[in-house]
Amino acid sequence: MCDQAVETMAHLLTGCSFSRTVWFEVLSWIRSTSGPPTVKGDFAEWLSLAVRTAPRQLRKGTSSIIMLTAWWIWKHRNAAVFDNAQPSVTSLFNDISVATWPLSNCGCHRRRRSRRKAPPATPTTISDLGDDLLREVFLHLPSLPSLVRAALTCPAFLRAVRSSPAFRRRFRELHPPALLGVFLDIHDPSIPVFAPIRCHSDRDHAAAIRGADVFFTLLPEGDNGPDPQWSMESCRDGFVVLVNWEIKKMAGYDPLTRSLDLFPVPPDEICCDMYVEFHMLASGENHRPFHVVSVSHEKWGAQAAVFSSDTREWKLFPFSEDGYSSLKGTLVNGSVYWTFTSETNIRVLNTATLQFSQIEPPLHMEGQDEFKPGKTKDGKLSLVSAVKLMLVVWVRTPDNNNTNNNRDGVDRWVLDKTFSLQDDTDNISRCCLDDDVSLNVVAILGGFVYFSTFCERCPNSCHFMCLCLETEELSKICTVTHSNISYPYIMAFPPSLVCNKVNPQLKGA
């Protein structure tokens, strides 16, 4: 509220200059002889002292007014943080005085017929709220950064989030991915440039961006000194995979938590004079343990290898003549897919068995670019392609046709949707003609299509955009420099909100 110290419950109630002003007004209004709570004192002890020093007939009302004031301060703080309300001492005091006016004269006139003392009322505090109610409230927070801020407010809030994997799954389902920015690979092989997503109305989102180490300052340097020679290979679930062929090291890095894991590159026998790509497979919400799959391509085929964070070793798999590709694949639902602009089959690597296979592509359309694999919100495999200013979406579904020609039970591609951006040309690029603008599909994550525009006349003023497949809502995220390779950086649940050991009774909570 005051932005003068780290906000904790103790600071909010006793140390915040805003709260102390409110306490002074309330205590003056009820004519209490006690001063506001001190910064270094205990709130419960101050409350007990304030009640004891009040006249006997006013003690019950004083206790209730003080507890309700603490609750109103918390409520006013939430309105300022989550609803962007403007903090106001006058407005808050008016709300408190109206709500507690019946209590201000409580006990002034004794009832002669009631001689037995009523049992003291048990004060209700925020900490008394149950975990189920807290989780229900947290589902209404606007984004994952806001949930992180709220959960770290006090131990009770953190326990409510950490103890329920079901709540975290539900939160992901109800909220769009927390996109913090885009890594642009415009200086290959140097570390990509980061373009942040500026959201001035969401202070928690801005705080997450400020706290992320998007320059990878913890990576070790090579013999070339200032030029680290690290290049990005993938960015998925908040985790970045980088490789440095000079020092023969790889890194798995979380820019938000600054967790760094260094491990060796694959053996030379499968890397020398070959095109190599990498994909990370994380186990669980805390990315531990993890595996990295490498696929080395040459003209006659490909060979896969797997690194395990448990054994710290690479395991090589047999060479396959079906796996060659000159383009980088995309990891979707545990398999890597390689798509092409021609009508050749889509190559697939199952990362569980490390076996290569092929599936047929969708029907080819004139002017259609390369298909980009991804998945819908409900987890189905999908392909998105750009045709001029139109996005074409295909979904892999079971074949329910009962004709004689389609009883093999094989999944088939179904044209799901087409989105024309022709009407949004002015929003996409005002300085270019329609024929000058093209679309580059970057990724399909959780039912959202991320793509960038490109205009030959203005290559340094491209737009990075997002399209929700479910609501068909189009959003312009930021302006970027044209890059053939870009990586959306989406915030994942931090380890502090994930409990490794969960009570079995809470798994479905």
Residue 401, pLDDT score? 58
Determine the Cα–Cα distance for residues 349 and 321; give it in Å rounded to an integer. Answer: 12
**SS3 (DSSP) at 449:** strand
Residue 396 pairs in a beta bridge with 413
Element (H, E) at 71: helix 59-82
Q: Directed axis angle between helix 131-138 and helix 155-162, to 10°? A: 80
Determine the Cα–Cα distance for residues 125 and 107; give it in Å rounded to an integer. Answer: 23
CA 439 to chain centre: 25
C-alpha closest to that of 235 among 218, 220, 214, 249: 214
DSSP 452: E
In the numeric block, the tokens 């009631």 are attached to 114
Residue 192, pLDDT score? 85
Residue 412 pairs in a beta bridge with 397
pTM for the model stands at: 0.70
Determine the Cα–Cα distance for residues 237 and 183; give it in Å rounded to an integer. Answer: 14
Q: In sequence order, which residues have a C-beta less than 8 Å from that of residue 114 and are 6 or more positions away? A: none
Residue 215, pLDDT score? 92
Contact 287, 254 (CB under 8 A): yes
Q: Which phi and psi angles does 406 have, rounded to 5°?
A: -135, 65
pLDDT in tens, the chain (509 residues): 676 677 777 777 777 878 888 888 888 887 777 778 777 777 778 888 888 888 877 777 788 888 888 888 888 888 888 877 888 888 888 878 777 766 655 544 344 444 555 666 666 666 677 889 899 989 999 999 999 999 998 888 999 999 999 999 999 999 988 999 999 887 666 788 899 998 777 889 999 999 999 999 999 876 666 566 889 999 998 999 999 998 999 999 999 999 999 999 999 988 888 889 999 998 777 777 899 999 999 888 899 999 999 999 999 999 988 766 778 899 999 999 998 766 578 899 999 999 999 898 887 655 566 789 999 988 899 999 988 888 999 999 887 654 444 445 578 999 998 998 876 645 555 545 455 778 889 999 989 999 988 877 776 678 889 999 988 888 888 888 778 789 999 999 988 898 755 444 444 44
**SS3 (DSSP) at 281:** strand
Residue 81 pairs in a beta bridge with none
C-alpha closest to that of 479 among 228, 186, 265, 196: 196
In the numeric block, the tokens 């998105």 are attached to 384
Residue 108, pLDDT score? 43
C-alpha closest to that of 39 among 73, 67, 8, 16: 16
Find the largest Cα–Cα distance for the chain: 101
Does residue 145 have a cis peptide bond before it, meaning omega lies within 30 degrees of 0? no
DSSP 90-136: HHHHHHHHHHHHHHHTTTSS--TT--SPPPPPPPP-GGGS-HHHHHH
Token reading at 319: 């060479």
Determine the Cα–Cα distance for residues 353 and 370; give it in Å rounded to an integer. Answer: 27
CA distance between the termini of the chain: 33
CA triple 346-349-353, angle to 5 deg:
150
Pairing of the two strands 486-490 and 474-480: unpaired
Q: In sequence order, which residues have a C-beta less than 8 Å from that of residue 98 and are 6 or more positions away? A: none
Question: How far is residue 30 from each of residues 26, 375, 394, measured CA to CA in Å?
Answer: 6, 61, 68
Contact 436, 449 (CB under 8 A): no
Residue 357 pairs in a beta bridge with 348
Burial (CB count <10 Å: 0-12, 13-18, 19+), residue 370: middle
Q: In sequence order, which residues have a C-beta less than 8 Å from that of residue 235 and are 6 or more positions away? A: 183, 241, 487, 488, 489
Residue 459, pLDDT score? 65
R_g of the chain, CA atoms, integer Å: 29
Its sign, for the CA torsion 186, 298, 252, 443, is positive
